[in-house]
Amino acid sequence: MKVLVAVKRVVDYNVKVRPKSDGSDVDLANVKMSINPFCEIAVEEAVRLKEKGVATEVVAVSLGEKVCQEQIRTALALGADRGILVETSEKLQPLAVAKLLKGIVEKESPDLVILGKQAIDDDNNQTGQMLAALTGMSQGTFASEVVIEDGKAQVTREIDGGLQTVSLNLPAVVTTDLRLNEPRYASLPNIMKAKKKPLDTLTPEELGVDVTSKVKMLSVEPPAERQAGVKVETVAELVEKLKTEAKVL
């Protein structure tokens, strides 16, 4: 059983994101970049399936500029067997990402595709669903538990009302939620071994996909700063401020 895992390069979650001075984009100069946290969970789940003997091969794929090899190498250090980079300088939108992943799926024929449910930079939560629609594969989104048995994937989903369990025929697309697992840290020996694992590079043209963006970014602005709170001495004073200043009463 082959598992394909998508990993995205994003600004590290510990970094405070700042826009450029001209407001044209996010400032990435000298900023630490990492694997998207939800993608880390996807890699961990795929590696656990391999450790259980369910999966025989884990392939990590990333889309973007050449520097995305760093995130693929991290996935390889965590336990993936080989990597694929679709190299492009275009700013990819979710539909373009789904189309590129569809091309990879057609080349690799995986039994299971695992993605993070969303990326922490754009928060779209669209790619997994689009990929399932384009490939005609069954899908289980927001997974908090995945069990593979008898040629099916039992996926426990986190929904508004609690938990929902669905049975998916393979091949299938699964997107990960936070409670699916806790990703491991890559050990130094595994980091060294990852440098020798195979990593292939493709282009969108080789996959027959036009990745030209249909969305134009007009500007990037920081959110308005919140005003400091004030202390009141009495309930009457609180009510008065809610009426006259906050204007919520």
CB 183 within 8 A of CB 41: yes
Q: What was the pLDDT predicted at 114?
A: 97
Domain for residue 39, yes or no? yes
- Find the largest Cα–Cα distance for the chain: 70
**Tens digit of pLDDT for each residue in 117-130?**
999 998 999 999 99
Dist CA 75 CA 221 (whole Å)? 32
Dist CA 146 CA 153 (whole Å): 7
Q: How many separate domains does the chain show?
A: 1
Residue 203: inside a domain: yes
- The reply to whether 49 falls in a domain is yes
Crossing angle of helices 37-51 and 69-78, in 10° steps, is 40
Please say whether the beta carbons of 211 and 92 come within 8 A.
yes
> Is residue 227 in a domain?
no
Element (H, E) at 236: helix 235-244
Beta bridge partners of 163: 158
Q: Tens digit of pLDDT for each residue in 14-30?
A: 999 899 989 888 888 88
Band of residue 227 on the pLDDT scale cut at 50, 70, 90: confident
Q: What is the CATH number of the domain that holds 204?
A: 3.40.50.620
pLDDT, mean over the chain = 93
First to last CA, the chain: 61
- Rounded to whole angstroms, the Cα distance separating 11 from 35 reads 8
The pLDDT score that the predictor gives to residue 230 is 84
In a domain, 245, yes or no: no
C-alpha angle 207/213/217, rounded to 5°? 155
Question: DSSP alpha helices (H): ranges in 12-143?
Answer: 37-51, 69-78, 94-108, 127-135
Q: How far apart are CA 60 and CA 75, in angstroms?
A: 7
39 pLDDT more than 90: yes
H/E stretch holding 157: strand 152-159
146: pLDDT strictly greater than 90: yes
Consecutive H or E run containing 191: helix 188-194
Please answer whether residues 249 and 240 qualify as being in contact, where contact means their C-beta atoms are separated by less than 8 angstroms. Answer: no
Instruction: State the residue range of the domain holding 94.
Output: 2-221
